[in-house]
Structure 1
Amino acid sequence: MPMAVGVIETLGFPSVLAAADAMVKSAAVTLVYYGLAESGRFVVAVRGQVAEVNRAVEQGINAGEQVKAETVITHYIVPNPPENVETVLPIHFTQKSEPFRIF
């Protein structure tokens, strides 16, 4: 079954922390990537079934915005990323994220 990917970019660490926390608590998703983009911007990505990723991203946006208005910069959901995208971008399951993978 294809695994969707959902990404949220925020301005500041508290917002990305709140977003990531809400994402994994609100839906059956696995956090697969977290990183610093640039200029205080942070990115968090989750993987899971399409409906779960949609719910997680929605809750992550709400939580990030509650920290401070306008801290969520952008978000995006890819329902079924092709294998070559998974190979190049940091959205695949790693040794760190694999133990937390939800099937």
Structure 2
Amino acid sequence: MAKQAIGILETKGLIALVQGTDAMLKAANVELAGSMKGVGSALVSSTITGDVAAVNAAIEAGAETAGRYGEVVSAHVIARPHEDIESIVPALKAAKRTATK
């Protein structure tokens, strides 16, 4: 994996996720790898990549903003993830395919 960290913001409801993702992208030099919607319970998530400090700052800003618009279920940063993580986070796999084309 070319990036040093991944961050995942999960919310209940799309509006909170859109607001939180916007804040993440504005707060630090990170890239949006993709988003996923869960089945039932209105759970949705965005995945970002970048260096560890940028992802930490972005996740913090995104979670704070999303919390003003809805419920933040989880906000997590994985520093130096193993390359096999791509197999369980579909957004990362899709971002990698797009980057290599």
TM-score over 0.5 for the pair: yes
* Percent of residue pairs identical: 28
Q: Which amino acid aligns with 1:84?
A: D
Deviates more, 1:11-20 or 1:36-45: 36-45
Q: Which residue of 1 aligns with 2:19?
A: 18
Q: Which amino acid aligns with 1:37?
A: G
Q: Which amino acid aligns with 1:80?
A: R
The alignment partner of 2:53 has SS state of helix
Q: Which amino acid aligns with 2:47?
A: A
Equivalent positions of 1:1-103 (< 5 A) are: 2-38=3-39, 39-68=41-70, 71-90=71-90, 91-92=92-93, 93-94=95-96, 95=98, 98=99
The alignment partner of 2:81 has SS state of coil
Instruction: List alignment gaps of at least 5 residues for structure 2.
Output: none
Distance, in Å, in 2 between the alignment partners of 1:89 and 1:19 is 19
Q: Which is helix-richer, 1 or 2?
A: 2
Instruction: List alignment gaps of at least 5 residues for structure 1.
Output: 99-103
CA deviation profile, 1:20-57 (whole Å, cap 9, x unmatched): 10000100000002111132110111000000000000
Q: Name the CA shift for 1:10/1:88 in 2 (closer, same or farther; >3 Å).
A: closer
Number of equivalences? 94
Distance, in Å, in 2 between the alignment partners of 1:2 and 1:80 is 8
Distance, in Å, in 2 between the alignment partners of 1:21 and 1:10 is 14
Distance, in Å, in 2 between the alignment partners of 1:37 and 1:8 is 13
RMSD: 1.5
